[in-house]
Chains A and B, each alone.
Chain A
């Protein structure tokens, strides 16, 4: 119960203690994602096709045709997001965490020390993210092969799709909760990649409930926005305007960027409280 109280306190503190330098690394990822969405929404321009066409094509040939490109935009965006989080995020997320922790250990948040810590955390964060992503893909496949079929047989149609989506999101959040402490531990001074990875996973499992609470508290607004795009993208394309999907994704990108920052900020606080009480 004490952990849940600490998690709630962490959530409040994270919101109250927003600092731009801590958030900025997430803003860089957001800008790259927004650039992709902008390019992908302008495939009618040569520069748009040159910038995003090849990424869109990874989702299949229809993804570079109108209006199908907007139906495929959400999956192409997911690929870009995964890539950015793995490659750039493995440095930028620890950088943000190092800046959050800087105030706690009494070093300047934008100094070279935080950059050094972030650089040192790269390998563990990258590995943690790759394992997280692999588990996510496996979970998605498992969901399609098993529960989705049962839900369709039980409820049928749209209700089954909504339930599948909810279960899918809950599973994805649970997996994310387990790996959330890997970068937090990786930026700590004494942490080696191996210690950070296994220690982070162990901490994630131990604090699973409170961490899930943090994720769900911050995670629902972008999820609400993404739900129609993931469940019925073709409906938006045919009934409304295909370009609406890009607008929704852009808003979701902006929201997700802040959400990620708040989640890591709250988790870092929970980690600190936990460590303090353990000591």
Chain B
């Protein structure tokens, strides 16, 4: 009996020792991973010193720092089994995964979405049961796919996320689960693709998604956030009655639940928008004024002023419109999304009222003040259009040259801007109008290279083929047309181009131009 007891004791001790060793080793490994993550953060801070906008090479250097974790710690990270070891394994995976996701984000800033996608996919492969990490890796993959202009895949991934993860109820209204913004992101992406039919379809999908969440009776804060988004989407679809019903339901919630009181400005604003859609302008204006007066610091105050100004324009109250636009621009911290639109529209109203000098001054200032806005893209062209309308060809020509100069400086400031493709497209349009064919074709080449995958690049290539054809450069014309067929087989132009090529390459394109 005695030796057997000793044996058992020895085995039990060995087992305990082995388990303890795995756990200690796991704790030490986790500690090392944490330290490496911390070191990467420090290295990033050091690398960024003195660089307000780091270039791609710098970003890739930062990425390399974060990638050290992935290269050092390899799955399964810790040997052994047991609950504690499993937990340690998850902790280490999270640590390494978060660093790799930072590497993915950094690669995206370095204009290397291919690397970003690879990192995101790797994180997904180690996430296992960690839903949080899985979600974050999915978000990173979507961003990378957008960067690669693989929009359909990005949309499919986002839809899969909506199916896979239920939204989390936040502790307060100030926070919102990222998941709720995905339906809007899908619609926005469709807009970027110029797919208006898809946009409508995805809005309907968003409405169905929000309704599905509401049907599962979520906690009050989540419910209010979903209802707010639902009413907004319904409004964008033009379904004023359904939006109003949601607003009423939300109002009921707000009066019953103190935690969601901060939704009041949004409610009032949405109700005003609905009234505006129903053409009850007087009522809408009163409600918008209520938002501005009662909640002057809310982000909805600027939006209310903008929408009220648009209604004023519609009702021929140009002075009222200008006063509201001015109020938006004179606010202590003008809303970055609303101010450029207000400035552009104010210039248009001034132009209509005959105050061209003031309008021109405003338009020239928009790309400088708001370089990362749609209004910044449109303002230089608006000046050209004014001179065209006024039949002043020389002034229009000068304005076109100035527009090219403006776009070039904006590209120099931020070549990775979301508007970079549109800048180049507008440069191409300007050179075509100015009949500077060589410059126009050089821009087409740039777009073919830098804006590959963007729908507007197909148009640029087609226009390039026309220009080359008209200038008897058939081989270049054919090269552009071939690019459309090979790289954009699904685009509406591709079928047309195939026909041209069948008929005899560049001749078709040049004939069409003539």
Contact = CB atoms under 8 A, between A and B. Distances in A.
A42 B197 CA distance: 61
Interface stretch (A65-73, A85-93, A175-183, A208-216): A65-73
A45 B28 contact: yes
Contact of A66 (B21, B24, B25, B31): B31
A56 B21 CA distance: 17
Contacts of B28: 43-46, 48-49
A46 B25 contact: yes
Contacts of A43: 27-28, 31
Given A66-B38, A67-B38, A49 B31 contact: yes
Interface string B15-33: 0000001001101101110
Chain A interface size range? 10 to 19
B27 A66 contact: no
Nearest to B20: A50
Contact of B21 (A44, A45, A46): A46
Contacts of B459: none
Interface in B242-278: none
Contacts of A44: 28, 31-32, 35
Contacts of B30: 65
A53 B27 contact: yes
Contacts of B27: 43, 49, 53, 64
B85 to A, nearest CB: 14
B34 interface: yes
A64 B24 CA distance: 11
Interface residues of B, number: 11
B182 to A, nearest CB: 32
B25 A69 contact: no
Interface string A53-86: 1000000000011110100000000000000000
Contacts of A66: 31, 34-35, 38
Nearest to A68: B34
Nearest to A42: B28
Interface in B50-95: none
Contacts of B34: 65-67
Most B CB atoms within 10 A — which of A44, A48, A53, A64?
A44
Contacts of B38: 66-67, 242
A49 B30 CA distance: 11
A69 B30 CA distance: 13
A149 to B, nearest CB: 29
A43 B35 CA distance: 10
B25 A67 contact: no
A49 B21 CA distance: 10
A64 B30 CA distance: 9
Interface string A27-50: 000000000000000011110111
B31 A64 contact: yes
A163 B27 CA distance: 39
A69 B31 contact: yes
A242 B35 CA distance: 10
Nearest to B30: A65
Given A43-B28, A65-B31, A242-B38, 16 more contacts: A44-B31, A45-B28, A46-B28, A48-B28, A49-B24, A49-B28, A49-B31, A53-B24, A53-B27, A64-B27, A64-B31, A66-B31, A66-B34, A66-B35, A67-B34, A67-B38
30 contacts: A43-B27, A43-B28, A43-B31, A44-B28, A44-B31, A44-B35, A46-B21, A46-B28, A48-B28, A49-B24, A49-B25, A49-B27, A49-B28, A49-B31, A50-B24, A53-B24, A53-B27, A64-B31, A65-B30, A65-B31, A65-B34, A66-B31, A66-B34, A66-B35, A66-B38, A67-B34, A67-B35, A67-B38, A69-B31, A242-B38
